[in-house]
Amino acid sequence: MGTPSDWLRFSTEIEPSGVVVYRMPFALPHFNPGMSREGLGHSLLRSLVSLVSAPVSLARFLRLLKAIKPDVVNVHYIYENALFCMAARQVTDFRLVVTIHGEDIERHFERARIGRWMVSRTLKAADRVLSNSAYLLAAAARIHPGVKSKSAVVGNGVNPDDFASV
């Protein structure tokens, strides 16, 4: 399915398992006044470009969703990609699974108001919330209490045979 990638690059790849991965930019304007001068310049450029790329990405994402009609869309990290999925969900039907990883939840209260709204709204809209730790799910439940009834801890998968010769 779609994944965030370079902030201007669209690509399609077929994994060795046969799974098709569509990569598309999910960038939105953002500005952090605490950044270094170099970071500020990059952020400003990205914000200006995203004013054009965001609608293009959303339109392309909607066309892709309508074409392949997925049963489930799994968003990793609650960030810009989650907002695109929630927008797409207004016109396309799919179940939304959100996998949280850490900073997306742990730094919630340090974010600007729009960032806090996006995380809270995504947790509320998700059909299922997954994480690799109970700690993060508890932190997510502090942001949106409804997470408790629709969450599960899913450990990171490792095939021990891959490490047999190490």
Q: What is the pLDDT of residue 144?
A: 94
d(CA 134, CA 116): 21
What pLDDT band is residue 4 in, cutting at 50, 70 and 90? very low
Query: 74-106, pLDDT tens digit by residue?
Result: 888 887 788 888 888 888 889 999 999 988 888
**Looking at residues 146-157, what average pLDDT do you find?**
92
pLDDT score at 141: 96
Highest mean pLDDT among 3-7, 49-53, 101-105 belongs to 101-105
Averaged pLDDT for residues 9-37: 78
**Mean pLDDT of the region 125-133:** 95
Q: Give pLDDT, residue 31.
A: 61
Q: Does the pTM exceed 0.75?
A: yes
pLDDT at 77: 83
**pLDDT grade, residue 22 (50/70/90)?**
confident
Mean pLDDT of the 42-58 span: 80
Quick one: residue 77, left, alpha or beta (phi over 0 = left, psi -120 to 50 = alpha)?
A: left
Q: Pull the structure tokens for residue 26.
A: 């999910």
pLDDT value, residue 94: 92
The DSSP-derived string for the chain is -EE--STT--EEEE-TTS-EEEE---------TTS-HHHHHHHHHHHHHHHHHHHHHHHHHHHHHHHH--SEEEEESSSHHHHHHHHHTTTS--EEEEE--SHHHHTGGGS-HHHHHHHHHHHHH-SEEEES-HHHHHHHHHH-GGGGGGEEE-PPP--GGGGTT-
18 token code pair: 């046969």
pLDDT attached to residue 48: 81
| pLDDT given at position 83 | 83
Q: What does the pLDDT read at residue 126?
A: 94
Name the percent of the chain lying above pLDDT 90: 29
Q: What is the pLDDT of residue 146?
A: 96
The Cα–Cα gap between 111 and 113 comes to 6
By the 10 Å C-beta count (0-12 exposed, 13-18 middle, 19+ buried), 110 is classed as exposed
